[in-house]
Structure 1
Amino acid sequence: MNQKRPENRDNGAPPTAAGRQLADAAEFAMGTEPCPPAQIPESCGHLLAALGHELRTPLAGVLGMLELALDGELPPEQRRCLELANSSAQALLRLVQDMHDYGRQESGRLITEGQTFEVRAWVDALHRKLPQPMGRPAVALHIDLDPSLPEMLQADAERIGNILLNLMEAQLKSRRPEHLILRLELLHSQQNYLLATLSEKPEQLDDRAKSALLAACGNAILPPLGQAGTLELKLALSRHLAAALGGAIGEHPSPSGAGFYSVLLPCTTAGQKLHPEAGPAARKKVAGTPSAAFRILLVEDDDAIRKLLELLIQHRGMQVTSVTDGEQALAQLQHRHYDLVLMDLRMPRLDGLTATRLIREREQANGAGRLPIIGITAHGGPEDLDLCLQAGMDERLSKPIRSEDLYAAIERLLSWPETPDWV
């Protein structure tokens, strides 16, 4: 039942048009007003996108601290509790990302990112993020990679992964299976498509189903979001996102009665075909240890993120000095040498982009060598990457920051010794 919206009681003035739009967006998000998405004003799309951006920072702190806690020795019951907390936080992050993307779609500012990624590493990351049910045995995820898949693909990997994880969650909540099978293959039409099939038993789409998916790519009839339940909302958001990426999601009957999902999304091939003898987790790189003489300057205003990055850097034997804004960073660089800077983009007093430009100008004026700078941002879109590169940064990490991504970025810029063997 719709609740009567109270009048402004602070000053007796009627609500402004902008205020009413914000109230409509908030009530729609809270479910108290079944406002159809088509009626949400463009400014509300901006609001949803901005909220999604800001929510990523505190979530990054939660996920990072959980990763650190799970990395140590724990009693089995305590580990299980932290694993469930981590799974819930990952699910919340995906919902925030879905809200962020939907807000950008509504405001006409969604930009897809065609990044090149290694198929096996990407699948392994999906495997680790598989939502696990509470109070029931863990669900196994079996990966079936078609030999025709190349080792590298170019596509919007993070958003495709979020779509697949949402579908996995839907399967787990509606069917409660003991295991899931994720099959990936390459489908050739007028362009290349990544075809993912998610099922409880081995399933493959016939030519008719593939043709129907191809016809629906970017043209599917999208479900409304206003009155959807929690599970239906995630599925609807995934369908909207898949369409925005130029793809489609299909639901298919199965002889077993379980039914299964398929996802078809455009991609570009890059690299050789997969070697069938190498399984998804058949090899693991052993990183070397950086020199303890490496000094890192960390510039981050959020307390939880700053503490997390300090612990991760110290865990690899490096020295770290932390400051909370760009002005303090410039002061530190005046009187001490650092090998690398981790620079947040949005900070009070002096933001990371402006601080980086000033560092580059100082280097040019003094004839000094180039200091490696890694940008830290709450959004992983291509526009943020462009801003980082234009300001003079060398790399960009998106929150939540995983330890392996942080170490890999530092390794690329500092070239610390590395064990070359594969195990």
Structure 2
Amino acid sequence: MMGVLAALLVYAVVFTWGQVYQSFELEALIGGGAVLLVTAYRLWLVARFDALHGSGPARWRRLFGVGLSLHALLWGLLPAWLIWRLGTGFNFFVVILYNVGVTTALGSSWMAGLRVRQAYIVLMFLPTLAVLLFAGSVHDWVLAALIGSYAFYLFRLYRGQYETFWHAMTRERRGSVEPKKPVRSSTEVQLSLVYRLAHELRTPMNSLMGMMSLLEDTRLNDEQKDYLQVAGQSGKLLLTLIDDVLDYSRILSRRITLNSDYFDFRAAIEQSLEAFGPMAQTSGLELTCVIDRMLPKRIRGDRERLMQVLNNLFSNAIKFSEKGEIRLDVDFTVERENAGVLRVRVSDEGAGMDPETLRHLFQDRFIEEGQDVYSSHHTGFGLLVCKGLIDAMGGTLGAESVPGEGSTFWFTVPVQMQPDMREAQSLIRALDGVQALVVGAASGTVSSIQEELEALGCQASSAMGYDHALQALRAGHREQSDFDVLFVDTWSRGELALNLCRNVLEDPSLRPVRLVLLATIEERSHAAVQQLIDKHDLVVLVRPVHRSVLRQGLARLMGLQRQIPVGDAPLQTPEERQRRKRFRLMLVEDNEVNQLVTRGMLSKLGYQVKTVSNGETALALLEQEPFDLVLMDCMMPEMDGFEATRRQREMEHSKASPRTPIVAITANTAEGVQARCLAAGMDDFLAKPVHLDALETVLRRWLPEQPVRDEDEQ
């Protein structure tokens, strides 16, 4: 009933608030009349259900199918008409979102009527696709590809539901003559269905995210860029939710496994800070971090799972905070020679939670019937996944909160460790006896700088305000107890911070003081800051400040040579792009949309690629000509990626030919799939949707220094 009435509301919004009626009065009235007639017909079927269905179920189904088809035809023509008259603007997107919503909702009803439901999809999307394809612009073609891929996905989904429904009906009618197999509980069946559905959703999501990534590089006006930005953010959120659903189903079914290895936890934290820092600053928040100097260089654990928990806590804190500081504290307690306990706390200054909400925070159960999913007692999958992962690691996850003051989420996990093998000795020698002063920073930033400087043998203190800092500097000069380094943070008052920088830099008596400015990415590009950089070679560190950023800044400040991390990507110079064009890559992928997306990404990175659709063709092509790297989809008809890789490795072994790197690309992120890929002979693993930076990292890791053809010519 609500879905039928929603059509009237959407039409009213588009043709009144969207101002279509003022421009096309006659067409608007005709369309409105048609919508009213179809809606009235469908409401009549609902109201007369008992009488019509009781007198003849087959006749009622035919009448209901006619109503669905008329509704689909009308709402399929409407977006096509809007494109013809007005283009792909606000009105079009409102209608197409409604169409996507009602076709998705139809997936959970009337599973017995396959032909009517598939006709519904065709009538709903075919007119729009036709108009977009004939429009002639790349933007319209990309939009048509996105809509078409989703329609194709629904087409397959409806068929699968139809076959499942009639298979169940047949088994029920056949009776239980044969001995019954052990029946799984309803919860296990639900988890299995949820897991399969979430896995299936990753494939169309790969197409959507990839297309939007390629669309960013086309010519778009400001309005289209806004639409694309919102769509991209929504797509990333949806992908996160899909991953949470997959993990939650694994946790409840006890199929979660951990991949433990030694890794640099501090470096992983710094990457998260660089990702979430600008996000927090955009919301008016300050993200700070204090890491215990006793934290080992490398700890043993599941890096991806630990960072998944930490990133979820960051996201949660930013989401539920409006102002103030979000502070990360990392402590490490050594318990044995090679083991200890890691304790991580994420604190915010948000609204906080009452005791009743805290008591229900980590409820490990499904939402009960009638429970409001938006109530304060319902936390979604995120925190439940975090709790399940920490439990699997043998740790504890908890929360503390005071209403009106904020919340603190914490977890502890036991880990093994490797002692630090070396330290920045040259930096320690250069900073020997240095006195530092910090002003204008959040408490977490002050604590972090003090912790890091003390680890390097320095002493750091903080000033109450910018004027107080200037007075302290001049007083130290008079008393011959000068401060050597001044850290000025723009967090408290940006303009006052810059005024302090100017006063210090232009005061001859304070010339020995080395100055470091802490600012956001946006502030870094302001004209006033750029003027100080150009005039005084000012060292600027982008917040949130962590060990790598701080030590690089100090090395530059003390005149030490700055070392570029090994992982830094090479610049996209013309020479680099020309070098990349000489490599020959093969993409083995049966899905045409995914082929288009991945080829577009490779082309954007400057690589040439040859595409085949199955394993047999790939093997035949590999025997005929050399390739530098193969991107292999795992699930394909005729011959899947696992079998194709095994045969390729056997062929290389028998002929003593060089090993061709093979990278798996798959939407299946289940535990153990990566191990299966490596066991088949693949070299690496990319999960769909494939992100451009992850693809570039893998290619840089596995491509040889020189293309295979160049080596053959030599």
Asked if residue 350 in structure 1 is aligned to residue 639 in structure 2, the reply is: yes
Cα deviation digits, residues 205-225 of structure 1 (max 9, x gap): xxxxxxxxxxxxxxx985323
Q: Is the 8 A contact 2:194 2:249 kept in 1?
A: yes
1:286 aligns with 2:568: yes
Structure 1's unaligned 5+ residue stretches are: 18-37, 202-219, 418-423
For residues 351-373 of structure 1, the C-alpha deviation after alignment (integer angstroms, 9 at most, x for no partner) is 10001011112222333221111
Counterpart of 2:345 (choices 164, 177, 197) is 197
> Which residue is 1:225 aligned to?
366
Instruction: Tell me which moved more, 229-238 or 367-376.
Output: 229-238
Q: For CA contacts below 8 A with separation 6 or more, give which structure has more relative contact order.
A: 1
Distance in 1 between residues matched to 2:273 and 2:211, nearest whole Å: 20
What are the equivalent positions in structure 2 for 1:328-367 lying under 5 Å apart?
328-367=617-656
2:660 equivalent in structure 1 = 371
1:408 CA drift (Å): 2.5
Q: CA deviation at 1:173?
A: 3.7
CA distance in 2 between partners of 1:85 and 1:58 (Å): 14
Distance 2:219 2:288 in 1: 27
**Match for 2:246 among 93, 100, 104?**
100
- Asked if structure 2 preserves the Cα contact closer than 8 Å seen for 1:143 and 1:182, the reply is yes
Q: 2:196 aligns with which of 50, 63, 73?
A: 50
Task: Give the CA deviation at 1:298.
Answer: 0.9
Give structure 2 stretches of 5+ with no counterpart. Answer: 1-107, 114-165, 173-183, 350-360, 425-451, 454-545, 553-563, 571-575, 707-714
Q: CA-atom RMSD, angstroms?
A: 3.9
**Paired residues, number:** 375
For residue 246 of structure 1, the aligned residue among 394, 407, 423 is 394
Shift in CA distance, 314/358, structure 1 to aligned 2, threshold 3 Å: same
Letter in 2 for 1:405: A
Quote how far apart the aligned CAs of 1:261 are. Answer: 0.9
Is the 1:224–1:236 contact (alpha carbons within 8 Å) kept by the matching residues of 2? no
CA distance in structure 2 between the aligned counterparts of 1:345 and 1:315, rounded to whole angstroms? 24
Of 343-352 and 67-76, deviating more is 67-76
Shift in CA distance, 199/187, structure 1 to aligned 2, threshold 3 Å: same
Distance 1:248 1:130 in 2: 24
Higher helix share: 2
Shift, 1:294, TM fit = 0.9
Residue type matched to 1:232 in 2? T
The residue type equivalent to 1:305 in the other structure is N
What is the alpha-carbon distance in structure 2 between the residues aligned to residue 287 and residue 13 of structure 1? 54
- 1:161 CA drift (Å): 2.7
Deviation by residue 1:236-291 (Cα, 9 ceiling, x = unmatched): 33323322332222111359721211122343334638874763556764323454
| Secondary structure, counterpart of 1:409 in structure 2 | helix
Q: 2:609 aligns with which of 303, 317, 320?
A: 320
Residues 12 and 317 of structure 1: is their aligned pair in 2 closer, same or farther, counting only changes over 3 Å? closer
Change (3 A) 1:334 1:123: same
Q: What is the SS of the residue equivalent to 1:223?
A: coil
Counterpart residue number, 2:269: 123
Amino acid at match of 1:175: S
**Residues of 2 paired with 1:239 and 1:378: CA distance?**
25
CA offset at residue 97 of structure 1? Answer: 1.6
Of the structure 1 ranges 322-331 and 339-348, higher mean CA displacement relative to structure 2 is found in 322-331
TM-score (norm 1): 0.74
Residue identity opposite 1:41 in structure 2: T
Aligned pairs (5 A) from 1:207-218: none
Alignment of 1:58-69 (within 5 A): 58-68=204-214
Q: Distance in 2 between matches of 1:292 and 1:7?
A: 52
Q: Secondary structure at the match of 2:637?
A: coil
How far apart are the structure 2 equivalents of 1:131 and 1:69? 26
Give yes or no for contact 1:87–1:131 (8 Å, CA) kept in 2.
no
Instruction: Name 2:187's counterpart in structure 1.
Output: 41
